[in-house]
Amino acid sequence: MSHETFTLTLDGVEVSAAPGDTLWQVALRAGETIPHLCYKDAPGYRADGNCRACMVEIEGERVLAASCLREAAPGMVVRSTSSERARAAREGVMALLLVDQPAREQGPDRSSHFWDTAEALGLDADAVRRWLPPREDRSAPTVHHVPLREAAPMHDRSHSAMAVNLDACIECNLCVRACREVQVNDVIGLAHRGAASKVVFDFDDPMGESTCVACGECVQACPTGALMPDTLVDDKGHGDSRAADRRVDSVCPYCGVG
């Protein structure tokens, strides 16, 4: 494969790229962080393209493209910040996710990447909620499924190091990739389909009873705080990942090393 760089146009500016670069990476080098929820810019993480928060417009294409997945090509003309369609698509995705999030101050992580992204897009959760009727008024889809066993609770404090609140989960799949592909532990998966789908540990066990080895990769990857260090979440389930910036003495509950 040729490693020669080429040029393309991003928001009216000529930028260079190498073969294999995604549009998201090209934009980042050009100084723009395109909104992203299911993509983590770190070694070992592949893009999955399932949240659609990173859409851009490409000249000559009718359908918007996910910039985290789409590879740059010579001569491409891409519009990100300069595209009204792309901006509306990103905001639409965030708005739909926002209405199903626990309120920021009552959620598991008031400083999550999700809330930072919503804020950067200028989206206010209360205003977005007013667009839609309350959750209980919306017609629920009919879902038939057989639980694997008695389901683990959505709020799960069974693990000594990690707190789980699946009410905040957006099913971006990052924790699954973190566990399965980055750490090769394969504890976390997605079970069921459609509206019934959810993140599970092993066979839908409480996290503390699963084969989790407490590596913490999933907590680092989670954009919403659905998976959080237990020490950063209070008794009511409210947390703040920025509190992790303070220095603490800690001992691993499994190996006993501080």
**Contacts with ligand FES, residue ranges (CB under 6 A):** 36-39, 49-54, 66, 68
- Residue 110 in contact with residue 104, Cβ under 8 Å? yes
The smaller minimum CB distance to ligand FES, of residues 55 and 200, is found at: 55
Q: Shortest gap between Cβ of 174 and ligand FES (angstroms)?
A: 9
Report the nearest approach of ligand FES to the CB of residue 24 (Å). 7
Q: Cβ of residue 30: shortest distance to ligand FES, in angstroms? A: 17
Cβ at position 161, least distance to ligand FES in Å: 27
Give 70 or 104: the residue with its C-beta nearer to ligand FES.
Answer: 70
Q: Letter for the amino acid at 77? A: V
Q: Which is nearer to ligand FES, 10 or 54 (CB)?
A: 54
Closer CB to ligand FES, residue 38 or residue 97?
A: 38
Residues of 31-55 as b/e, b for ≥16 C-beta within 10 angstroms?
A: eeebbbbbbbeeeebebbbbbbbbb
For residue 91, the SS3 value is: helix
Helix (H) / strand (E) containing 113: helix 113-120
Handedness of CA 43, 48, 50, 52 (dihedral sign): positive
**Shortest gap between Cβ of 164 and ligand FES (angstroms)?**
22
Nearer to ligand FES, 40 or 238 (CB): 40
CB 53 within 8 A of CB 123: no
Query: What is the number of helices (H) and of strands (E) in the chain?
Result: 6, 10
